[in-house]
Structure 1
């Protein structure tokens, strides 16, 4: 259980930082998040399978999966479905960290499947445009950052639409 809670805290650190920085600039936490609702005919299980298949076809590895709702249920906490998926292209991650170790706080890329209080399913992730805009990257790394952003969005879109 400690490992799961530690993983969750580590996963939330980048958002905590962005929230504190952004609030001072008039932004809210919602301004740092990309959200996609699942299509009406797409089940959460179908979304998961679609994301995994799309990530694999794009050479992004699923490096971690945290079914947080199961952990909460085992603790007797009533909850809606919450799962965190972590995807990575290790080569790009390595290049970004070589440029600036601060990028390590944003790795790996996370997509959360979450059911809201009304039963609507969503996919959420960090809005990488916000990070890319602050990064001051050399052209070759900017190209990689844009590729990561586009790949994560494509994985999410596949999940949201159930596209295999």
Structure 2
């Protein structure tokens, strides 16, 4: 028993030394240690920021090594739903929800015209609630970089190469949790609007993937 306890102590000591080494390295290279500690002692972030944003983002980043994968939400399009069905469903839901379709970008079609080579399907859909958008920008000019809300309908490489016999199509959008919960809590009036936009975009994405409207 004493041998096991001794082993556990040494393991804990080694873990502590490794953690200390990395903290010191970060402090020397980036000066972040004191900042991290101060924020932990006197948090300014939303109380749900770790659970809804930073831990899921970190886990995805460590799993994939791709920061873009860590900041999006993707839904698989049903096999029996055509691209035209997806588009019709999304436009119908957007209209019903009172959010404006402000443009579509048929990227794969454009590249095919430019190169003369067949491309896997990729089309970007853009939506905006103008009054909500202005309210968000009034809070922070940086919100303008998130506008308009976008959804991307994309055919994965395997689906493209097999003519749709294998692989999948996906609807991608940015994870709005980062904007809603990633920093200091939003004012109540803005939080209500942001949550409603998130709800609408989720409805459009889910309905589009299912061809349901």
TM exceeds 0.5?
Answer: yes
Deviations 1:65-123 (A, max 9, x none): 10001110011143101000000100100100011100000000000000001212110
Rounded Cα–Cα distance in structure 1 between residues aligned with 2:194 and 2:70? 19
TM-score, normalised to structure 2, is 0.64
- Other-structure match for 1:123: 171
Alignment of 1:115-154 (within 5 A): 115-119=155-159, 120-136=168-184, 137-154=186-203
- CA-based RMSD of the aligned residues comes to 1.4
Rounded Cα–Cα distance in structure 1 between residues aligned with 2:188 and 2:82? 40
Selected match of 1:89 from 124, 129, 149: 129
Structure number with higher relative contact order (C-alpha < 8 Å, ≥ 6 residues apart): 1
Where in structure 1 are there 5+ consecutive unaligned residues? 1-21
TM-score, normalised to structure 1, is 0.82
Displacement of 1:134: 2.0
User: Number of matched residues?
Assistant: 141
The answer to whether residue 81 in structure 2 is matched with residue 42 in structure 1 is yes
Secondary structure at 2:182's aligned position in 1? helix
The answer to whether residue 109 in structure 2 is matched with residue 60 in structure 1 is no
- Other-structure match for 2:6: none
When Rg is computed on C-alpha atoms for both structures, the one with the higher figure is 2
Displacement of 1:135: 4.3
Where in structure 2 are there 5+ consecutive unaligned residues? 1-53, 62-66, 160-167
The answer to whether residue 149 in structure 2 is matched with residue 109 in structure 1 is yes
Rounded Cα–Cα distance in structure 2 between residues aligned with 1:131 and 1:43? 32
- Other-structure match for 2:205: 156
